[in-house]
Amino acid sequence: MNLLIKGGRVIDPSQGIDETMDVLIADGVILELGQGLTAPEGTPTIDASGLLVTPGLIDMHVHLRDPGLEYKEDIATGSRAAAAGGFTSVACMPNTSPVIDNKAVACYVVNKAKSEALVNVFPVGSITKGSKGDSLAEMGDLKEAGCVAVSDDGKPVCNSELMRRALEYAKGVGITVISHSEDLALVGEGVMNEGFVSTELGLKGIPWAAEDIAVAREVYLAEFAAAPVHIAHISTAGSARIIRNAKARGVKVTCETAPHYFTLTDDAVRGYNTNAKMNPPLRGESDVAAMKAALADGTIDAIATDHAPHHPDEKDVEFNVALNGIVGLETSLPLSLKLVEEGVLDLKGLVSVMSCNPAKILGIDRGTLRVGAVGDLTVIDPGKEWQVEADKLESKSKNSPFLGWKMKGKAAYTVVKGQVVYQA
């Protein structure tokens, strides 16, 4: 749990740091930052010359499928994928089997992660019992068991009164509410973005209004309840505009988007590519541009993968019946680094949305390299070129629309509590 990292470009927005320096970790915590640091003989040392050193990356939205759906992913394989992607902490969603809606299931995840995970695993409990949208889960028990947020992810809480109470209770308990925002009546039997491509392919479309209307409801409920809300995986220009306006008038709303929403359009569905089927669906060029603009102006607080592994049998079927979701832990960093290359974000901004901000939203003691903080950090090789190949992905599932893509940028080392858990 001791480690010396020498000569890297240290970027830590939490302290306003962007300079070449050393980082010394002792007993799993940051002991010192500076130049020309030395460590006791025998301390493992990383030469980070030419590399970036950042607070450990945090993915606040992943699906580890454990308990009950381990044929898709489990805590061990999911954490290996996270470490390979440069993530030191992940927050796992509750749509498991059984649902993480009580203390016992939450404790199962926490305890299994302690024995099997390479990275920190923070469970997210469900807002409602069984994620059925009928009655609230015991948020106090879930927080006590280690949950850092509550969400019915995969399902919106359709009852507005229930969602209001969820926001009020969560505020009292001190736990983050993460909203999966979509109007199911407008979604209907839709399977992709409604537009030219869906018409051309003869597939039922999902209009942008299905997301925008639901996001607007959450914003107004948060404003009414004077309670914070976090909006998951926004994908439309309208969602960004609604959240931007809400922030301007002081509503306590934060949001995330995923790399596929600022990288791909619904053109990726052509050929009925089920690896490009997700929820919310890939949108049009104007929405991709809007995601980048919202990242640039701070409307979007976090980049999260929505890592959603599925067995090949669940994807190698007709488009209409294929399950939604893609794996993203191992491709998020290079896709996000492209934002820096394009001038959308600078490196400090990127580290903010991939580490510092997720930590703040979830209320976890990560996302910083301050002296005394937990020794979680990521050493990044921004120039590393590599190709996405299914058989080289650490995830148990391989459902990625980026298979075959050439990427630039990769984690060189992933360090959790002073221990190297991944080395490229």
Q: Is 95 known as a binding-site position?
A: yes
Taking the C-alpha atoms of residue 418 and residue 39, their distance in angstroms, rounded to an integer, is: 13
Q: Is 310 known as a binding-site position?
A: yes
Q: Is 311 known as a binding-site position?
A: no
Return the axis-axis angle of helices 209-225 and 237-248, rounded to nearest 10°: 20
Q: Is 283 known as a binding-site position?
A: no
Closest to 127 (Cα-Cα) out of 165, 96, 90:
165
Closest to 338 (Cα-Cα) out of 413, 288, 401:
288
Taking the C-alpha atoms of residue 424 and residue 62, their distance in angstroms, rounded to an integer, is: 22
Taking the C-alpha atoms of residue 193 and residue 208, their distance in angstroms, rounded to an integer, is: 7
Q: Is 307 known as a binding-site position?
A: no
Q: Provide CB contacts within 8 A for 248, sequence distance 6+.
A: none
Q: Is 212 known as a binding-site position?
A: no
Residue 310 vs residues 190, 206, 274, 389, 396: alpha-carbon distances, Å: 20, 22, 11, 17, 9
Q: Is 61 known as a binding-site position?
A: yes
Catalytic hit among 12, 22, 152, 306: 306
Q: Is 153 known as a binding-site position?
A: yes
Burial of 390 (C-beta count, 10 Å sphere; 0-12/13-18/19+): middle
Concerning whether 306 is annotated as a catalytic residue, the answer is yes
Q: Is 306 known as a binding-site position?
A: yes
Residue 179 vs residues 80, 88, 139, 230: alpha-carbon distances, Å: 27, 24, 15, 6
Q: Report the C-alpha dihedral over residues 399, 403, 405, 411, rounded to 10 degrees.
A: 60
* Residue 109 φ then ψ, to 5°: -65, -45
Q: Is 230 known as a binding-site position?
A: no
Q: Is 266 known as a binding-site position?
A: no
Percentage helix, strand, coil, to 5, in the chain?
35, 25, 40
By annotation, the residues acting in catalysis are 306
Q: Which residues are annotated as a binding site for substrate?
A: 63-65, 95, 279, 310
Q: Which residues are annotated as a binding site for Zn(2+)?
A: 61, 63, 153, 180, 233, 306
